[in-house]
C-alpha cells in the first residue's frame, strides 16, 4: 500500500527570516575563534600549529556531520533533524564557554561542528516549501547570513574576551543559537519526509572518512617538523592512503553510501566540489594568516594589534561576506554560475597576491581581506544555489552536503597549511614567524585559487532565470 504524503505547507518571510536568524547565530558562534587565536594562544599556552588546529577542528567535525545530516534530512525531514542538531551545537557552545584548557575547548569545538550540517537542512526545508526561483534567493539569503554571522562574531569576540573573558565570547552566541532554534521550531512548518526508512546508515564509510580527515590533519601538522621524525610522517602518509582506498571501496559497495560517489561523479557536482575546495583553501589561509600578521611583533612587519582591534580590522571583510551571499544568489539567477565564479576567482587571486606583495599598512590587509571575503561568498553561494536547484528535491540535502564537505576540507587544509608555514618559518628559540612565511602563504594561496580557472572553463554557464 502506497502512502500519499500531504503537500508541503507554503512558508512566508517570517519562517525564512527565522532560518536566517539561526544562520546568523551559528555563523557568529563559528567565527569567534578566528580573531582571538593570538589571544587564545597566549592564554592557553598554545603553539601556532595548535592554534591552527583549534581554528579548523570545528570544520573537521562539520565534514563528518554534514553528509549525515543531509541524508537524515532528505529521509526524515529537514526541520526535525535541524532542531536536534542545534541541541548538539548548543551543548558544544556550552562546553567551549566553560572550558578551562585546550583539550576541553577542543571537545566543545568538535560538538559545535555540527552547526555546519544546519545549512543543507535549511536548504531542504526551503527547497520543499518554495518554487525554484524563490528558493535560489532564499538559499542565498540564508547562506549570506551564515557567512555574515562572522561579522557579529568577529566584531564582538575581541571586546568580549578582553572586557569579560574568553568564556563569554562562546556563551553569548550560544544563547542566541538556543533562542533562534526555538523561533525556527515555532515558525517553520514540518516538511514531509522524502525516502522511506528502509536502508541503514553507512557507519563504515563514516568511520573511514573520520580516520581519513584526522590523518590528513596530522600529516599537515607534522609536515613542518618532518626532519625530526621522517618515519612518523611517512607512516601517516601511508595510513592516509590506506584510509582513502578503503573509503572509496566501501562507498562504492554500500547500499546507501555516506557520500554518493555516483552523484560525485557527475560533471556538474565534481566541478562544483573542486572549485569550492580550491576557493575555500585560499580563503582560509587568509583567514588564519591575516589575524596572525596583525598580531605579529616582528622587526619591520606586523602591527601588534589587540584582539579587539583585530576584530575591527576584519569587520569590513565580514560585511563584504554578508553582502556576497544574496549577491551570489542573484548573480547566479541573472548571469549564470560560471560568470559569478570566474569573477570571484579573479577577485580572490588579486586580493591574495596583493597582500603578499604589499602589507606594510593596516589598510593593505583590510582591503585584501574585503576582496577575499567578497569573492569567497560569491563563489560558494553560486556553487551552492546552482547545485541545490539542479538536482531532484529529494537529493537536495546530500548534493549540497557534498559542496559543504568540499568547503570544510578546503578550509581545514588551508588553515592547517597556514599554521604549518608559520611554524616552519619561526626560527629556533623565537616566537616570531619570519615575514617570508606570510608572503609564501599568500602566494601559494593565490596560485592555488588561480588554478580554479582551468575548471571554470569547462563549466556550463548555468541556468539563468
In this predicted structure, what is the pLDDT of residue 459?
66
Residues 288, 239, single domain; the answer is: no
Of 228, 255, 282, at which residue does a domain stop?
255
Cα separation, 447 vs 352, whole angstroms: 9
In this predicted structure, what is the pLDDT of residue 161?
85
Instruction: Please give the helix or strand (H or E) that residue 144 lies within, else none.
Output: helix 132-163
> Measured between alpha carbons, how far is residue 361 from residues 34, 155, 211, 301, 355 in Å?
21, 20, 42, 9, 10
Chain center to CA of 66:
11
Let me know: does 428 contact 163? Beta carbons within 8 Å. Answer: no
User: In angstroms, how far is the first alpha carbon of the chain from the final one?
Assistant: 39
In this predicted structure, what is the pLDDT of residue 194?
62
Q: Helix, strand, or coil here: 7?
A: coil
Tell me, yes or no, whether 40 lies in a domain: yes
In the structure grid, which three cell numbers stand for residue 148, read together?
Answer: 555574515
| Below-50 pLDDT ranges, the chain | 1-7, 463-465
Q: Helix, strand, or coil here: 427?
A: coil
Residues 314, 327, single domain; the answer is: yes
Tell me, yes or no, whether 21 lies in a domain: yes
Cα separation, 202 vs 189, whole angstroms: 29
Let me know: does 410 contact 284? Beta carbons within 8 Å. Answer: yes
CA dihedral (281, 413, 161, 110) in degrees, to 10, reads 130
Number of separate domains in the chain: 2
Residues 246, 292, single domain; the answer is: no
Residues 247, 331, single domain; the answer is: no
Q: Helix, strand, or coil here: 37?
A: helix
Tell me, yes or no, whether 318 lies in a domain: yes
Cα separation, 349 vs 447, whole angstroms: 7
In the structure grid, which three cell numbers stand for residue 119, read together?
Answer: 545549512
Residues 304, 175, single domain; the answer is: yes
Let me know: does 56 contact 416? Beta carbons within 8 Å. Answer: yes
Cα separation, 249 vs 129, whole angstroms: 37
Q: What is the pLDDT of residues 258-279, one digit of tens each?
A: 677 777 777 778 888 888 888 8
> Measured between alpha carbons, how far is residue 269 from residues 100, 242, 274, 327 in Å?
42, 25, 9, 22
In this predicted structure, what is the pLDDT of residue 325?
67
Range of the domain at 340: 13-190+256-456
Tell me, yes or no, whether 79 lies in a domain: yes
Q: Helix, strand, or coil here: 82?
A: helix
Q: What is the pLDDT of residues 379-423, one digit of tens each?
A: 877 776 667 666 666 666 667 667 777 877 787 788 778 877 888
Residues 260, 242, single domain; the answer is: no
Cα separation, 247 vs 208, whole angstroms: 6
Q: Helix, strand, or coil here: 336?
A: coil
Cα separation, 124 vs 192, whole angstroms: 10
In this predicted structure, what is the pLDDT of residue 94?
92
In this predicted structure, what is the pLDDT of residue 215?
82
Q: What is the pLDDT of residues 226-246, one digit of tens each?
A: 666 778 888 888 999 999 899
Q: What is the pLDDT of residues 334-385, one digit of tens each?
A: 777 778 888 888 999 999 999 999 999 999 999 998 999 888 878 877 776 6
Residues 93, 179, single domain; the answer is: yes
Amino acid at each position: 500500500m502506497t502512502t500519499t504524503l500531504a503537500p508541503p505547507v507554503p512558508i512566508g518571510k517570517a519562517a525564512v527570516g527565522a532560518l536566517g536568524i539561526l544562520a546568523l547565530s551559528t555563523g557568529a558562534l563559528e567565527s569567534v575563534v578566528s580573531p582571538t587565536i593570538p589571544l587564545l594562544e597566549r592564554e592557553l599556552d598554545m603553539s601556532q600549529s595548535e592554534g591552527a588546529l583549534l581554528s579548523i577542528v570545528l570544520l573537521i567535525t562539520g565534514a563528518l556531520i554534514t553528509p549525515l545530516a543531509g541524508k537524515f534530512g532528505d529521509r526524515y525531514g529537514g526541520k526535525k533533524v535541524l532542531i536536534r542538531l542545534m541541541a548538539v551545537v548548543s551543548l558544544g557552545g556550552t562546553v567551549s564557554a566553560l572550558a578551562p584548557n585546550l583539550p576541553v575547548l577542543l571537545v566543545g569545538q568538535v560538538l559545535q561542528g555540527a552547526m555546519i550540517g544546519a545549512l543543507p537542512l535549511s536548504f531542504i526545508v526551503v527547497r520543499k516549501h518554495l518554487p525554484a526561483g524563490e528558493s535560489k534567493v532564499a538559499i542565498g539569503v540564508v547562506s549570506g547570513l551564515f557567512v555574515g554571522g562572522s561579522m557579529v562574531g568577529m566584531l564582538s569576540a575581541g571586546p568580549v574576551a578582553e572586557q569579560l573573558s574568553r568564556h563569554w565570547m562562546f556563551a553569548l552566541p550560544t544563547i542566541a543559537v538556543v533562542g533562534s532554534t526555538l523561533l525556527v521550531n515555532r515558525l517553520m512548518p514540518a516538511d514531509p519526509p522524502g525516502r522511506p526508512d528502509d536502508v541503514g546508515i553507512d557507519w563504515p564509510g563514516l568511520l573511514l572518512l573520520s580516520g581519513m580527515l584526522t590523518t590528513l590533519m596530522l600529516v599537515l601538522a607534522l609536515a613542518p617538523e618532518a626532519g625530526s621524525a621522517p618515519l612518523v610522517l611517512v607512516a601517516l602518509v601511508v595510513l592516509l592512503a590506506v584510509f582513502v582506498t578503503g573509503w572509496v571501496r566501501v562507498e562504492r559497495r554500500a547500499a546507501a553510501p555516506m557520500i554518493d560517489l555516483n552523484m560525485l561523479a557527475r560533471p556538474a557536482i565534481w566541478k562544483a566540489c573542486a572549485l569550492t575546495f580550491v576557493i575555500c583553501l585560499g580563503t582560509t589561509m587568509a583567514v588564519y594568516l591575516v589575524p596572525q600578521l596583525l598580531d605579529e611583533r616582528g622587526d619591520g612587519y606586523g602591527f601588534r594589534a589587540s584582539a579587539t582591534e583585530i576584530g575591527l580590522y576584519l569587520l569590513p571583510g565580514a560585511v563584504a561576506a554578508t553582502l556576497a551571499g544574496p549577491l551570489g544568489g542573484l548573480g547566479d539567477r541573472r548571469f549564470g554560475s560560471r560568470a559569478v565564479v570566474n569573477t570571484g576567482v579573479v577577485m580572490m587571486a588579486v586580493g591574495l597576491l596583493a597582500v603578499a606583495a604589499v602589507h606594510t599598512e593596516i589598510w593593505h590587509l583590510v582591503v585584501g581581506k574585503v576582496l577575499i571575503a567578497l569573492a569567497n561568498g560569491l563563489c560558494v553561494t553560486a556553487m551552492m544555489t546552482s547545485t541545490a536547484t539542479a538536482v531532484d528535491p529529494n537529493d537536495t540535502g546530500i548534493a549540497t552536503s557534498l559542496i559543504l564537505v568540499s568547503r570544510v576540507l578546503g578550509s581545514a587544509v588551508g588553515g592547517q597549511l597556514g599554521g604549518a608555514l608559520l611554524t616552519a618559518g619561526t626560527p629556533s628559540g623565537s616566537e616570531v614567524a619570519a615575514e617570508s612565511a606570510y608572503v609564501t602563504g599568500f602566494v601559494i594561496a593565490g596560485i592555488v585559487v588561480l588554478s580554479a580557472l582551468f575548471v571554470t572553463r569547462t563549466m556550463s554557464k548555468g541556468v539563468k532565470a
